[in-house]
Structure formats: C-alpha cells, structure tokens
Structure 1
Amino acid sequence: MEPVFPIDIKLNLLEGKKFYRYSYNEYTTINGKTHRSELNKNFHVTLKLLEKERFEYHIEIFDRVHRDKELSLSEKGFLARIAEINDDVVLITDEYGNLKNVQGLSVLQNKVEKTVEKLSQSYVGKQAEDSYQFLKEFYQKEHLVGQDFLKNNHFGMILHQFYGRYEQENNAKYSVRYRNFMANTVIDIEERVQPQDMRGDDELLLLQYTGNIPSDKNWEMFYGEMKRKEIAYNSETDFPKLDKYKGQILLDFKTKEVLEHKLTIEFFLGENYQKKIIYHIKEISYEEL
C-alpha cells in the first residue's frame, strides 16, 4: 500500500521498554580465502518522554558473544570490558531522534578511569596504552560521544537519522563514516532514501535506503593498506566500490519505533579483496531471550 504524504516519522511513544537482538556478520575475502567474524548481542531499550518533544534513550547490553577465530580469549575479554563502558550512556533526543545531549557524562568519565585502571593491571604494551589514552580523551568530549553512539550500530539502527518529515518530492541523504571496510582506513558513504521506496499500511511502515561512495577522497588509504598487506591490485581498474548497499527499516506506524532493521553491504577492491557486512537488529519478546 502506498503511503499518504506528508509522512512524519517521529517518536510518539510516551514510555516503553523493548528487547532487541542484534547481529553483525563480516566476511573478508583476501586472495580467495574468506574469514568470518561474528558478533551477537541482546539488549534492553528504555524510551521515556521527559517533556514535550524530548525523549530519553537508555540501552543496556546484557548478553554479548563475539566469535572470531583470529581473536584470543584475552583479546575478546579486553574488547568486552571496554564495550561495557557504554552500557551507562543515556541520550536525550528530540522527537525526530536528533541528539540534544548525553546525560551523566561525568559518570561515564569516572567509569572510563576505573576501567582503564583495572585493565592496565592485565593488558600492557603500546597498543593498550594507545587505547587507554584514546578512551580518556574521547569521553571528555560530549559531542563526540553522542555522535559515536548515533553511528554505533545498536543505537544507530534504532535511533536512525532517517527520522524526519517526508514530502513526496523529498530525497533525503546523509553521510556515514565506516572504519571496518579495511584496517587503518576510513570511507564515507552517502546514504539516500526516496519517498517512492516507502511502503506502509495501518500498522507498519517500511523505509528502504541505498548508499554510494561519493568521492575518491580516502582511496589512497586503501591503496596504502593493500601495499602494506602485499595484496595485489591494478591501480587503473581496481578502486573502492560498493557492489551492494541496501538498508530496510520496518517501523511501527503509530509509535515510529524500529521493529526490524537490516543493512547489507558488499564492498569490492579488485579480485583480491572483497568484504561483505550484514547488520541485523530485530525486536524480540522477553520470552525469546
């Protein structure tokens, strides 16, 4: 069923508690050999209306499983302890999910200090020290913490930047930065949603979006990493491109809360390097935990 415009995608729920299951699957193919990395987690979302048009979002992760044969148990433990810092983050947003501020930033800063102190007793070396320094500096800057959470997948796939008011002629687009297409690189993807990609009925609204690499701004990072890793490529014909970038968001038509969100990315840099990434988040019942 075609939706009736204008469509106002904003948060309407007064207060709600939801459970979600999140999965991240990454397939990296180098010289024909594929390595898989997988992360699964369950989390609890509390959404609360503070006052007119202002909402409080709190997400608590209580079950996290990281499967990657190339990571040791010690490395997985290190990553898990750092990730736990974020369980106390509370975001204050407007009705369209736009970030207003991070609540209780001083609590986060204290938690960083304590976490770093504990980790430094077991994890030493330059890489660990660099991580500790980065964490301490990062959590001093509220805007960076907020931006990172809205880009982070278990937040960003619920509190999405495509919330907004849509006219039939709209062609909304946003830039999203990725760091996981290849080590030591960043790349910007321009996401775009068009009203004709929306499907709705009385209960559900489906919003679909695509992505493209808008410029060659950071390509040299990728070429440099290919050289360091001794992965052969043809500089005249091989360049970073997306074979696929497709996102689908299923929303409750009344509350505009995300029920399910899936994003599939297929990245290509010549015959010797490809990556496929699948993000998936789905609302589940308490009984499904």
Structure 2
Amino acid sequence: MAGNWRSGCDASILINSTKTNLAEKAAGSNFQLRGFDLIDAAKAAVEHACPGIVSCADIVAIAARDAVVLAKGSRWEVPTGRRDGRISLQSDADKMLLQTSDSSEVGIAAFAARGLSKQDFVALLGSHTIGNARCGFFEDRLYNFQNSGKPDPTMNPNLVKLLTNTCLKNFTDPTTPLDQGTPFIFDSNYYKELLMRNGILRIDEEISTDPNLFGFVKKFATSSLDFDASFVAAMINLGKVGIKTGSQGEIRLSCSVINS
C-alpha cells in the first residue's frame, strides 16, 4: 500500500521531494518502485469524471488489486473512503520500512505492532511471487554471508550457482525474479520454491525456517486456495492500517503534490 508504517495507507509514497523536503521516494528501500505515471494517469481520469472525490490512496489500493488480477490472481472488493496524507519524509521510510535483510522476528514484531498477524505477514510476502530484486539486496548470501566468506548455507547450492552467474561482482546491478518458477503469475509457487530452499532474500528464507511461520509456508505451498484466501484477507487488513478518513488529510488534486 502507498504509505509507510508511520502514516499508514495514505499515498504518502507518491509525493515528490522538494527543495526543502526529501520525501519517501528518496529512501533506499523505495528505489525500485515504479508505476507512478500510471497512478497519475488514473488520477487525471477520475478527476476529469468526478473532481475532488477519489483519493490517491484509494486509487493505489484498487490498482494493487487490479495488478494481482491481471497476473491471474484473486479478485476482491476493495474498501474505499481513504483520504490522502500531507506528510512524506525519507527519514520515516528509512526508519520504519522493513529491510530485505531483516529477520523473521523483526517482521513479526513490525506487523504485530500494526495489528497484523503472523499469517498476514507470511501471506503478504507471497506478493514476491511476481516481484524482482536487485542483486545488491542479496549479494551477501552468495559471496560473504555474515562475513563468513562463503554463501549462505541455507540457500540451495544450485540457486547460489545460478545467481552468482547473474550477479557478477563489480558488474551493473541486475535483477532476478523472487519466484524462479512462475515469475509472471500470481500463484502460490513462491512457497513451493521456499520449501526447496530457493528463497532469494533473507526474509524469504527466514519465514521458511522459522518454526513460528513454517506451518503457514507449508499450508500455502500445498493449497493455492488457502493462499488466495489468506492473501486477500491480509490485503484488506493492511488497507486498514493508519488510514485517514473524514476531515483527516485531503483529496489531492495531483498525487505527487500536496494541495496548496
């Protein structure tokens, strides 16, 4: 959802930096985010049809659902009525966003603090079934895991070899699919890959080895219906985190700039 853990789902990630403020877009964890132009185009269309009614936060929530549907995933009704935030700070994103190298314990605690369950946590990571990651986010697992000078022993050796060829040292930072099997289809194959020790990011591998989370990984790998239902429920729960309604926030006229 478009926002950070402090401000919630209020489209704060869409706001551009200014001469006096570095916004969330400037945070390292948000470097790979794309598609802002599509959100702007959708906002322009709804502003033409019904000015000042539809928030950027709602547009992002609906776009997230539609992206899943277009990738052959489940469809759900998106609760609407969010308003847009007026604050976007790089420092907040740097402090609050989960990092790819975080442990499962950190992830569980971060989600619990926002009212999200362990099952929500594991289900939402299932979005990695259509994601990509730059080599810089996981190179330590290939070459020097925890300063050992060796690969991460929990990663499948065949995957280590494959990714080492992809992520050559001193080379332009390329990307690789987080789901090596079906990278363009929103399905439960991500969890099957985890059971084969094919998790790319540390957080991926962590949820498959954490005894508090492994049961969810195994259930989702076994039943796509369980994953679909849990992912939809988790997305709806996530969409309620820190939302602004009523007189809070605003309905931005342009998603990248707060109203004057």
Give the shorter-chain TM-score range.
under 0.3
Q: Which has the higher helix share?
A: 2
- Structure holding more strand per residue: 1
For the pair shown, the structure with the greater C-alpha radius of gyration is 1
TM-score, normalization by structure 2:
0.26
TM-score by structure 1 length? Answer: 0.24
**Greater relative contact order (Cα 8 A, min sep 6): structure 1 or 2?**
2
